[in-house]
Structure 1
């Protein structure tokens, strides 16, 4: 049997709809067909360098606030950046952005920080734009499931 792998979900969920997206990510990542991946969620204000060091992959979730990521996710990056920069280069990650407008400022900020960390995106950030739609939940669930399945299969 393969060794356990660890997917860390760092998602800011201050509203009911963002909580639904976080829960969908956890549901997708914990699909019964995925056998070797343990998924943990930590709010950004509680997640730290030790959590990142223990992770084999990372899923980030944030609302767009004033054209930027949430302050909580930025705080997570501020507290972890230098502590993990050397040892976690190449860390596979994905992100979803709940954007009221276009999400480009948030995407640009996440891209800038993760590029500095030398993390490896498994896909472009998922931008959930405009008024909340029920299919956002499915999109986040699918992203997390694909990420966990890829980790399970050893693709990343």
Structure 2
């Protein structure tokens, strides 16, 4: 079995819907070789990253940056996983009230430093809430899990 780790900051009802959608996509019934674990950034740490085969990150845009909770996760995990998980496939979704580009750049710089690789381009969910965001994040979770399930990632 492969393990997909979803680390998503979900401070509101809508962002919890996004985290649940990521999990639902990753647990699609046609995928039988992937186990999905979901954690809030403050509950996740280096051991979780070391145990996974791919990672899906979710964050809100906070003042043009990633959430403090996700930044805290990176601060606590960076050096502990740096040499052990190079090449880890990852993806990112950002719930952005504005444009999300500052958040994307911040996460990309850390992912580059960790030498992880993007399995999908970052997904930025911009502007006012749309129910379509749920489907987009569910698809992202599904695609990442399907890549693991089929040995592509």
| Pairing of 1:66-85 with structure 2 (within 5 A) | 66-85=63-82
CA distance in 2, matches of 1:106, 1:86: 25
Partner SS state of residue 81, structure 1:
helix
Query: Partner residue of 1:146?
Result: 143
Alignment of 1:1-156 (within 5 A): 4-156=1-153
Counterparts of 2:141 and 2:121 in 1: how far apart (Å)? Answer: 13
How far apart, in 2, do the equivalents of 1:123 and 1:16 lie? 25
Deviation, structure 1 residue 93: 0.2
What TM-score, normalized to structure 2? 0.99
CA distance in 1, matches of 2:138, 2:121: 16
Q: CA deviation at 1:124?
A: 1.5
CA RMSD of aligned residues (A): 0.4
Structure 2 residues not aligned, in runs of 5+: none
Q: How many correspondences in the alignment?
A: 153
TM-score (norm 1): 0.98
For the residue of structure 2 that corresponds to 1:105, the secondary structure is: helix
